[in-house]
Amino acid sequence: MKGIVFTEFLEMVEERFSLEVVDGIIERAALPSGGSYTAVGTYPVEEMGRLVGELSAATGAPVPALLHAFGKHLMTRFTQGFPRFFAESTDALGLLERVETVIHVEVKKLYPDAELPSFECTREGPDRIVMVYRSPRRLSDLAAGLIEGCAEHYGETLDVAREDLSGDGQAVRFTITRGGGT
Amino acid sequence: MSDPIAVLERALERERRARKAAEGLLEEKSRELFTANQDLRALAGTLEQQVEERTRELALARDEAVSASRAKSQFLANMSHELRTPLNAIIGYSEMLREDAIDAGDEALSTDLLRIHSAGKHLLSLINDVLDLSKIEAGQMDVFLESVPVGPLLADVVSTIRPVVEKNGNTLELVAEGELGTAHVDVTKVRQTLFNLLSNAGKFTSNGRVTLTAGREREGDRDTLVLTVRDTGIGMTPEQMENLFVPFKQADASTSRRYGGTGLGLAICEHFCRMLGGAIVAHSEPGVGSTFSVRLPARQPRAEHPSGSFERPARPSRGAVVVVDDDANARDLLSRTLAAEGYTVHAAADGEEGLRLAREVRPVAITLDVLMPQLDGWAVLSALRADDSLRDVPVVIVTMVGDRNVALALGATELVSKPVDRERLASIIARHVKAPAEILVVEDDEHSRDLVVRVIEGHGCTAVCAQNGRIALDRLAERQPAAIVLDLMMPELDGFELLERIAVEPALRAIPVIVTTAKTLSREDRGRLEGRVQQILQKGLYSQSDLVKWLERVTVPLAEAP
Ligand code: HEM
């Protein structure tokens, strides 16, 4: 997993909780990298799992909620770091439709070792798309946070219905409707 | 709770390690970038080098091709010059001697001379084939359209080629389907195409039949001349027909050994037909025979020359022609040809002499060789064009080498290549020479007549005389003059009566008439002349310039006509 995900995650923990919490979860997670992350590096994805698990233990918040919150946080960073992608779409559904076909394609060019999910995207109507998330990393909660962050960026309300197609989180269907559920 | 200092120290330590890792990664990346950059530069370098090499190779190949083609053209031009010079003499003199032999009734000699003549012509045609093809390939082949009666053209082709076709025991027949009329075509190319097809037919047929069928298809505003050459010869297989119109590709190598020929003929025919806006198609069956059909538009929409202008004048126009050529044979042939056409020929052996003669005799036309020592043809041409009194004299360049377009651009009237096609030369000159207008002078008084004739001839026209109305009517029946100068008081048939006769002849009514008379005209007289004469000049009262002015008016449109 790309270092930027780790540095952003730890930054979020420090902002929301404290440097002490950051230090605590790193110490307890006993990570091979020692918790020294640089945005330009690449680290085992398991370390992220352990960090999130330790954070849940330390704060009592469930892992899915933490990933969701992290997704939202990450999206605010993406809007700052990659403004071009957001300028190219006029609304949230438009941007989400382009994650698979444009955004992650560009990400892969920038970071050839990035491990990205796949999204199968279909438009069901002017206000509805269906995205099927597939990834062995089972980060659909992160995806849900990213989607929400995306809606916030465009000042929209999106109704997101989620269905686990595989039963283990490797394939999850998001049905996303604009305008809060109509 | 953990020690805040220890937390900070650990965070700092993590940051430091992260920074070092980042620096390491950065260095690794920049090293990668550096090598990638070097690889790219090397690649760009070799690419540039490759492009340069390719460019050089291509430029070299192009230069070689250009110089090879130039060398080829030069070689062909030289060769044609070298070969055509003696041929020129052979063809020209054998033709002339043959005419003498015919006049003398010596049939055997005339037949032999015909053989020499046609052998020469055949050789010439081979040379011309090669030249034609190289010209076609170089895009330098011009189309030269003229109006010709189709029947006589075909009859001439058939009679020329007959010995060739009949040699193999074949019969040759010309079949005209319907009225063939006159066509506006490039005669040389049509002749050459037919010669080729007919001699091929004769070559590949023995004891058989060769037929040239000619017809005219008129459909809407399309008018097509269809010429078909059919033989009962060995025919061709579909494979043999594949490369039929491709130069240098005869059916197979053995064909050329057995049947001869350059293998260029059909390729040239095909090119010619296309240049004339037509097409040629072949049908054949092995053992049965072959058919070649040529379809040509009989009227070219954009005629280069007005139709009819090429027909030989009914009567040779008189006038001086200056022939300039350093080669005695050529000069002699040209002079004889033009003299036979009724011109007075003044021959000059070099440019200087030619110019001098031209200034002296004021010719109606000049023929000019290009390759001459000292003052060459082009120099003479520009001197002529710079001379006010000679500027308008038509100059026909007669040359073995030379480009028609260049010649025309330099101010020549036309270019004729050697050996000279005598008929073509004659028709070109006839076309460009302002044929002197012929004026009929009807006058019984000898002195008055001489005076008028002198004015007319001084004006560059020719005069035909009649002593009275009756003789004038005879003359008018022979041919129509451009104008009539008429006296009124004459024996036998007087001027008034003559005018009455002319008035009822539709063909003569339009001829302008001027009356010169010593008679004081009454009212009644004037009434009889009204509407029938253009002007009345009172003898003793009119000046020569009055007559000249009138002549100018009535002859200008004629003289200006192309
Ligand atoms: C400008 C917009 C975006 C950028 C620049 C971006 C970039 C990235 C990057 C760098 C990663 C990490 C890959 C790795 O660590 O190997 C990633 C992962 C991910 N991205 Fe995006 N992304 C964008 C938008 C989105 C959106 C809108 C979604 C949700 C629909 C999304 C869903 C995910 C998920 C779920 C992952 C985690 C990897 C996985 O599940 O296999 N991304 N993205």
A43-63 pLDDT per residue, tens = 999 999 999 999 999 999 999
A129 lines ligand 1 (CB under 6 A): no
Of B2, B16, B29, the CB nearest to A20: B2
* Residue A80 and residue A26 in one domain: no
* Residue A80 and residue A131 in one domain: yes
Chain A positions in Cβ-Cβ contact with residue B18 (cut-off 8 Å): 36-38, 41
B545/B272: higher pLDDT: B272
* Residue A54 and residue A73 in one domain: no
Q: Is some CB atom of chain A closer than 8 A to the CB atom of B406?
A: no
* Cβ distance of A23 and B2 shorter than 8 Å: yes
**Global confidence as pTM:** 0.42
CA B392 to chain centre: 21
pLDDT digits (tens, 9 = 90+) for B486-514: 988 888 888 888 998 888 888 788 888 99
- Quick check: helix, strand or coil at residue B292? strand
* Residue A79 and residue A104 in one domain: yes
* Residue A89 and residue A164 in one domain: yes
Chain A positions in Cβ-Cβ contact with residue B22 (cut-off 8 Å): 38-41
What's the whole-number mean pLDDT along residues B456-475?
Answer: 84
* Cβ distance of A19 and B18 shorter than 8 Å: no
Amino acid at B94: S
A99 lines ligand 1 (CB under 6 A): yes
Chain B positions in Cβ-Cβ contact with residue A22 (cut-off 8 Å): 11
Of the three residues A13, A36, A61, the one that is the final residue of a domain is: A61
Beta strands in B351-497 (DSSP E): 365-368, 395-399, 414-417, 438-442, 462-466, 483-486
Give me the domain span that covers residue A17.
3-61
Q: Is some CB atom of chain A closer than 8 A to the CB atom of B19?
A: yes
The residues facing A123 across adjacent strands are A129
Count how many domains chain A has: 2
Beta-strand pair B279-285/B289-297: antiparallel
Q: Whose CA is nearest to atom 32 of ligand 1?
A: A143
Q: Is some CB atom of chain A closer than 8 A to the CB atom of B222?
A: no
Of A22, A23, A38, the CB nearest to B21: A38
* Cβ distance of A39 and B22 shorter than 8 Å: yes
CA dist., res. B250 & res. B244, Å (int): 7
* Residue A125 and residue A87 in one domain: yes
Chain B positions in Cβ-Cβ contact with residue A23 (cut-off 8 Å): 2, 7, 10-11
- pLDDT(B418) > 60: yes
Minimum mean pLDDT among A73-77, B40-44, B136-140: which range? B136-140
What phi and psi, each to the nearest 5 degrees, are found at residue B106? -90, 95
pLDDT digits (tens, 9 = 90+) for B404-414: 888 888 888 88
- End-to-end, the C-alpha distance of chain B in Å comes to 121
* Residue A49 and residue A111 in one domain: no
Instruction: Give the other-Cβ count within 10 Å of B534's Cβ.
Output: 13
Return the residue of A nearest to B26 by Cα.
A40
Q: Is some CB atom of chain A closer than 8 A to the CB atom of B5?
A: no
Beta strands in B325-372 (DSSP E): 344-348, 365-368
CA dist., res. B245 & res. B107, Å (int): 41
Q: What is the pLDDT of residue B215?
A: 93
Which residues have C-beta within 8 Å of that of residue B492, sequence separation ≥ 6?
B468, B469, B470
CA dist., res. B146 & res. B185, Å (int): 6
Closest chain A C-alpha to B34 CA, distance in angstroms: 18
Of A27, A34, A41, the CB nearest to B25: A41
A25 lines ligand 1 (CB under 6 A): no
Ligand 1 probe mutation, A116, A121, A135, A156, most atoms within 8 A of CB: A116
Average predicted confidence (pLDDT) for chain B: 81
* Residue A117 and residue A35 in one domain: no
- B276 DSSP 8-state letter: T
* Residue A45 and residue A121 in one domain: no
Indicate the burial class of B38 (C-beta count within 10 angstroms; 0-12, 13-18, 19 or more): exposed
What's the whole-number mean pLDDT along residues B248-267?
Answer: 62
Q: Which two tokens stand for residue A145?
A: 């946070």
CB B202 within 8 A of CB B164: yes
CB A37 within 8 A of CB A111: no
Q: What is the largest CA-CA distance in chain B?
A: 160
A–B CB contacts, 8 A cutoff, strictly below: 41
* Cβ distance of B14 and A36 shorter than 8 Å: yes
- End-to-end, the C-alpha distance of chain A in Å comes to 37
Name the residue among B558, B562, B502, B556 with its Cα closest to residue B531: B502
Q: Whose CA is nearest to atom 11 of ligand 1?
A: A116
Closest chain A C-alpha to B5 CA, distance in angstroms: 10
Question: Looking at this predicted complex, what is its ipTM?
Answer: 0.77
pLDDT digits (tens, 9 = 90+) for B474-491: 888 888 888 899 988 888
Chain B interface disruption, residue of A20, A22, A26, most B CBs within 10 A:
A20
Of the three residues A61, A77, A101, the one that is the final residue of a domain is: A61
* Residue A74 and residue A48 in one domain: no
The number of the ligand 1 atom at minimal distance from the alpha carbon of A150 is 27
* Residue A24 and residue A112 in one domain: no
Q: What is the pLDDT of residue A21?
A: 93
Beta strands in B311-402 (DSSP E): 320-324, 344-348, 365-368, 395-399
- pLDDT(B128) > 80: no
Q: Which two tokens stand for residue B391?
A: 């500027």
pLDDT digits (tens, 9 = 90+) for B282-302: 999 988 999 999 999 887 544
Q: Which two tokens stand for residue B11?
A: 């965070």
CA dist., res. B395 & res. B380, Å (int): 10
DSSP string, B41-74: HHHHHHHHHHHHHHHHHHHHHHHHHHHHHHHHHH
Name the residue among B464, B478, B480, B459 with its Cα closest to residue B555: B459
* Residue A28 and residue A109 in one domain: no
Closest chain A C-alpha to B22 CA, distance in angstroms: 6
The 3-state secondary structure of B514-532, one letter per residue: EEEECCCCCHHHHHHHCCC
Chain A positions in Cβ-Cβ contact with residue B19 (cut-off 8 Å): 38
CA dist., res. A122 & res. B459, Å (int): 99
**Distance (Å) from CA A104 to ligand 1 centroid:** 7
pLDDT digits (tens, 9 = 90+) for B160-210: 889 889 988 999 999 999 888 888 888 888 988 998 899 889 988 999 999
Of the three residues A23, A40, A61, the one that is the final residue of a domain is: A61
Q: Which helix (H) or strand (E) holds B284?
A: strand B279-285
**Distance (Å) from CA A117 to ligand 1 centroid:** 7
**Helix axes of B328-340 and B4-103: crossing angle, nearest 10 degrees:** 70
Long-range contacts of A99-108 (CB under 8 A, 24+ apart): A99/A131
Indicate the burial class of A3 (C-beta count within 10 angstroms; 0-12, 13-18, 19 or more): buried
Q: Is some CB atom of chain B closer than 8 A to the CB atom of A34?
A: yes
Q: Is some CB atom of chain B closer than 8 A to the CB atom of A23?
A: yes
What phi and psi, each to the nearest 5 degrees, are found at residue A158? -115, 135
- Quick check: helix, strand or coil at residue B124? helix
Closest chain A C-alpha to B30 CA, distance in angstroms: 13
**Distance (Å) from CA A149 to ligand 1 centroid:** 12
What's the whole-number mean pLDDT along residues B509-529?
Answer: 81
